[in-house]
Amino acid sequence: MTTFYCVRHGKTEFNLNKTFQGGGIDSPLLAEGRAGATLVGNHLKAVPFKKVFVSPQKRAQDTAQLILNQHSQSLKLETIDDLREMGFGSWDGQPESNYHHETEFQHLVHQPHLYDPSHFGGETFAAMIQRGKLVFQRIAKEHPEDDILIVSHGLFLQTLLKDLQGIPLSEIRQGSFLDNTSVTTVISSDEGQTLTIDTWNDTSFIP
């Protein structure tokens, strides 16, 4: 079986300031985010990863490198563009509070099955899920017995992993969100067609 260790990037300035930080923008890791990534590295340093796949966005790249700096193996980052965060179009880089009154913001947060970002150039949940599924399925098919490290983004990972468990889109935003530098472990024995959650949003290694 393939075991995916899915890590959300470290906390950034935009996370702190509640600014939209989607697939088209970046902000630096805070000291807290860098420290969290190092703790992830210590937590996972004995896992015999076969591959490390990471989003092209700098906050994920920096997080992944800090994790690998603690690892017992010599591993290299492999960038996959489709591991990037959901794109928010013209909302990217703007304070979330600017849009609290808008219908699509409410849909994004509470009713994702109704979310339509077409008028501001954003990405749909369906498009994000589709690209994510193809990535996970390809990796699982190529590495059916391996441990794989994925460093990516909160909304992307939460949405995709819940979808692959068969949870309907209308319920994907329910329950706990993925914290920065959390580890979610998922297992697939059918080439990524379905995933079984082993651990969800584990931050037990962070003081």
pLDDT tens digits, one per residue of 128-172: 999 999 999 999 999 999 999 999 999 999 999 999 888 999 999
Please tell me the pTM assigned to this model.
0.96
**Domains assigned to the chain:** 2-202 (3.40.50.1240)
Q: Rounded to an integer, what distance in angstroms lies between the CA atom of residue 83 and that of residue 206?
A: 25
According to the annotation, is 14 in a ligand binding site?
A: yes
Q: What is the pLDDT of residue 34?
A: 98
Q: Which residues are catalytic?
A: 9, 85
Q: For position 76, what pLDDT does the model report?
A: 93
Distance set, CA 92 to CA 88, 173, 190 (Å): 5, 20, 36
Residue 70 in this model has a pLDDT that exceeds 90: yes
What's the pLDDT score for residue 15?
A: 97
| 13 annotated among ligand-binding-site residues | yes
Model pLDDT, residue 175 = 83
Structure tokens at 136: 């996970």
Averaged pLDDT, 20-42: 97
**Is residue 121 annotated as involved in ligand binding?**
no
The SS3 of residue 52 is: strand
Alpha helix segments (H runs only) across 4-124: 13-17, 31-44, 58-68, 103-110
Decide if pLDDT at 97 tops 90. yes
Token pair 């300031």: residue: 17
**Cα distance between residue 51 and residue 80, in whole Å:** 12
pLDDT the model gives residue 82: 98
Mean pLDDT over the full length of the chain: 96
Residue 15 burial (CB count, 10 A): 20
8 labeled binding residue: yes
Pick from 27, 26, 34, 28: nearest CA to 10:
34
pLDDT above 70: percentage of residues in the chain: 100
Is 84 annotated as belonging to a binding site? no
- Say yes or no to pLDDT of 192 above 90: no
Give 123's pLDDT tier (boundaries 50, 70, 90): very high
Element (H, E) at 192: none
**Residue 44 · residue 183 · CB < 8 Å:** yes
CA proximity to 118, closest of 97, 96, 93, 87: 87
Whether 12 shows a pLDDT value over 90: the answer reads yes
